[in-house]
Amino acid sequence: MGIADARLGTMLAERYRIDSVLGKGGMGIVYAGMHTWTERKVAVKILRPEFAQQQELLQRFFQEAKTAAGLRHPNVVDVLDMGRDDDDSAFIVLELLEGESLAARLTRERKLEPAAALKILLPVIEALHVVHARGIIHRDLKPANLFLTKNRQGQEIPKLLDFGIAKLLENSVIQTQTGSMLGTPGYMSPEQMRGASDLTAASDVWSMGVILFRALAGRLPFDVDPNPTTMVMNILLNPAPRLREIAPDVPSGLASAVDLALKHSPETRHRDMQELLEAVLEGAQMDGIDVSDPTMTLPPGVV
């Protein structure tokens, strides 16, 4: 029995029953469970034991969870609780979402119509604007970290997962232990690939540009290579193709907003998510794309 399965059926912190494994990552394992006092179904992320013993990392793990809990944004997954178990396991408790990731949808449908893509991604861009205002750069934006669920009215709501937690992996000890690069090569900004320590919101703008490109074109801007190093070198050395070179059917206004998000130098991209949001909305309006969405609240100054 593996370390993940060993917890099944056990209690965590005397109130969470661990029922099944939802996923495994470099930092921890995510379970479906239940708060036995309230009978609310939850997701529980438990930090791997080797990381739970590193005090600086542990402090940052809980600080990010605390920041997330304070956001209370409709397009960011809710953090409900956090703590340590009697065996010193560090955990955070999240709302349990039902639905599918954007990655699963794109695997099934390959690409989305512009209006459908923007209905999903505009609320996420707005949520990232709020996250950045709290001083957090996500660092691992990708379709797998965008989850599509429904509210009580049956409206589809995109939820941003795992923001802020990714930067814990920048710790050199963890990089050595995992033997892996922080983030996902196909979606990482060039400056993140170079190991820049002072990443800005423009790094997440690049990643969101890649997600938009993938959703609209049906493929990544840079060819996928089984050797991640080859892909990294391709991204570092070559400019991203223009979206309409790959997908000529994408309207020009929207394509221009995506192209600007994928400029190699962060100084020449949209500076932040608000600029990206404004550019996408302006492009959509120029193209006649209906992006009206009653579930999305735009930041001040965005019309």
Q: Which positions are annotated as active-site residues?
A: 140
- C-alpha to C-alpha distance for 236 and 240, rounded to whole angstroms: 10
- C-alpha to C-alpha distance for 37 and 39, rounded to whole angstroms: 6
Q: Where are the alpha helices (DSSP H) in the chain?
A: 49-52, 55-71, 102-109, 114-133, 172-178, 190-193, 201-217, 228-237, 243-246, 252-261, 273-287
Instruction: State which H helix or E strand residue 101 sits in.
Output: strand 100-101
User: Residue 280: how many CB atoms within 10 A of its CB?
Assistant: 27
Task: Map tokens 């999305």 to a residue.
Answer: 296
- C-alpha to C-alpha distance for 215 and 212, rounded to whole angstroms: 5
- C-alpha to C-alpha distance for 94 and 44, rounded to whole angstroms: 6
Query: CA dist 109 to 104, 214, 218, 219, 287, Å?
Result: 9, 12, 9, 12, 23
